[in-house]
Amino acid sequence: MSEEAQSTKPSQRRGSTSLERRVDALEQVLIQIYGPERLVLRAGKLQALKQLRSDDLSLKVLALEKLILDDPGITHVPTRREIPKILSRLEDELADMIARRSLEDELEKKIAERMQERHEEYVRDIRNQILKEDGGPETPETLKKLARLAQLDEIGLRGSALDVVRPAALEEVVGQEAAMESLLAKLASPYPQHVLLYGPPGVGKTTVARLVLEAAKKFGQSPFQDQAPFVEADGTTLRWDPREVTNPLLGSVHDPIYQGARRELAESGIPEPKTGLVTEAHGGILFIDEIGEMDPILQNKLLKVLEDKKVRFDSPYYDPEDGNVPQYVHKLFQHGAPADFVLVGATTRHPEDIAPALRSRCAEIFFDPLTPEDIERIVSDAGTKLGLVVEPEAAQMISQYTLEGRRAVTLVVDGYSTAFLRVGERPTVLDRDTIQRVISRSRLSPVKPAITRDPEPGRVFGLAVAGYHGLVLEIEAAAFPAHEHGRGRWHFNDTAGSMAKDSVFNAEACLRRVTGRDLSQYDIHINVIGGGNIDGPSAGVAIFVAAYSALTNSPVRLDTAMTGELSLSGRVKPVGGIPEKIFGASQAGLKRVLVPIDNQTDLPRLADGPEVVLIRTVDDVLREVLL
């Protein structure tokens, strides 16, 4: 053997050994993938079994080609020089095969887990359905809670005393005959109107609205049926949700992703419309207390419902072609929810504080403030319903401390409870001492502060309005020689307001014209006793008379109050709040009221009210009030 052959033979042997190890490694990987038995079956199917068992490396590589490439048509027996390249290709194919099988195994595992979850959910639904059919989803714990609720149902109080004394018929309502007649005319008509009720708190607006509906049902021409609802809401709690997720007044849509959606609809991706109070009031009355406090955007949406008599719903999740959508959902989305009702809104605000768009769609009714006589009658009626005889002195005391019917009734109930605690049994008489004790504990102040009536120069009574109540203003003036010669000044308390200051300037001009005096020689002080804020120019006449009286040292009649704006020429101009002012003068016990002649159409009808004197100029005023 040559030296070259001897040196090449060991190298070939080492190369063959390396190839054999690679071939054996590929065969072992196939055994791990398929298993020995399956690998034999696969080799037989691909006509590679004999070659796989051969000792010839080339034949074995051919068998591996057929097994890995899954091709029985491969017949070329590779040479030793071709084997490394083939083995590299087979190794890549085998790596891809292993990666695919790993991915497939992972997917199969996930699929099996998901199928198991679905199976368990399906079994749970079937179980719940069977439970419902066989007796419901009750457990010992739920049954225990149900029994506790049943026990609570057996326990109860006799009811609120305020429910006992609340008027049950229109005849029992005190002091609002005109308002009740007007409201009944508007609701009992064949074409009922939307209404706004104005008035101070505690005079019976809610009660009257509820009772008028019951009375209107009895009229043959009334569109209200016997089952017409009276739905009550509070405007202070009604808020507009900019997301429109919830809207108890108009209704809203619970989309599938919303937590309030029903499960069977949410799972199918179906939105569910929820109707609101306007639909609940369909065919009846929607009463909104404190409607002036409602959100302006919500008011506008309510006005749209009043025009359309329907509520429209919309949702991007609604599909009219979806066969799984219930018919009632289709109807609400396509046709809307019915909302044909009469709106009755109540407010303690003045008309100018209410949105013009709302006022334009509603008739307006004003509830009068209650008189002391009304309060005494309310107190007596409440006592009768509680089985009490209310002494006249006790009723009169209550009327001195409140002009709200609700507050008066509350004081009667408090007196009933106090008397019951004192005697240890059901009382039959409510006396002055008991009411005095209740009023003292409640820390109430008299509604009419005492006013002295001794005439003196510079002291007059003006009139103002606070809410829906008239007030008597005690105005005083004093005139002194100017502190600095020729530089007299007018002084006025700042708390009375800027409009009242303008009235002072007008009064100064008129005073100079009427008296002819040089006012620069005087310091004149004007004071509104109590520091009340005069919202408007209506105190002009009273300020002029007070200054005139002080300057001329002329006393003024103190059984007379006055109101009116004063112009620079001395004419008395009309002002607002005339009914409230005359009512306030009446409560204060004044006998006469001076009112601008241009306000004669605003005069209220009071059976026992003060005498009303119409005035045109300051000369008329001085003629009526100077002693």
Residues recognised as catalytic: 538, 581
Looking only at the bridges linking them, the beta strands covering 572-573 and 565-566 are antiparallel
CB 347 within 8 A of CB 236: no
* Spatial CB neighbours of 108, under 8 Å, sequence gap ≥ 6: none
d(CA 329, CA 322): 11
d(CA 287, CA 208): 11
CA–chain centroid gap for 530, Å, is 38
DSSP class of 574 = P
Q: In the beta sheet, which residues pair with residue 555? A: none
Q: Which two tokens stand for residue 91?
A: 């190794």
* Spatial CB neighbours of 87, under 8 Å, sequence gap ≥ 6: 19, 22, 23, 26, 61
CB 228 within 8 A of CB 283: yes
Q: In the beta sheet, which residues pair with residue 485? A: none
DSSP class of 352 = G
CB 580 within 8 A of CB 469: yes
User: Strand order in 342-347's β-sheet?
Assistant: 230-234, 285-289, 342-347, 195-198, 363-366
Among candidates 500, 197, 225, 248, which has minimal Cα distance to 359?
197
d(CA 593, CA 597): 12
User: Strand order in 469-481's β-sheet?
Assistant: 490-492, 522-528, 469-481, 459-466, 560-562, 592-596, 611-615
CB 409 within 8 A of CB 416: no
Q: Which two tokens stand for residue 344?
A: 């009755």
DSSP class of 513 = H
State how far the alpha carbon of 160 is from the alpha carbons of 163, 165, 375, in Å: 5, 9, 21
State how far the alpha carbon of 554 is from the alpha carbons of 104, 162, 458, 548, 622, in Å: 113, 53, 8, 8, 10
State how far the alpha carbon of 403 is from the alpha carbons of 95, 165, 373, 587, in Å: 96, 17, 10, 11
**3-class state of residue 479 by DSSP:** strand
Phi, psi of 517 (to 5 degrees): -90, 155
State how far the alpha carbon of 600 is from the alpha carbons of 94, 603, 616, in Å: 110, 6, 11
Q: In the beta sheet, which residues pair with residue 310? A: 338
Q: Which two tokens stand for residue 239?
A: 């808020």
Neighbour tally for 323: CB within 10 Å: 5
Greatest distance between any 2 Cα atoms in the chain: 164
d(CA 206, CA 371): 19
Helix, strand, coil percent values for the chain (each to nearest 5): 50, 15, 35
**Amino acid type, 382:** A
d(CA 350, CA 603): 18
d(CA 125, CA 120): 9
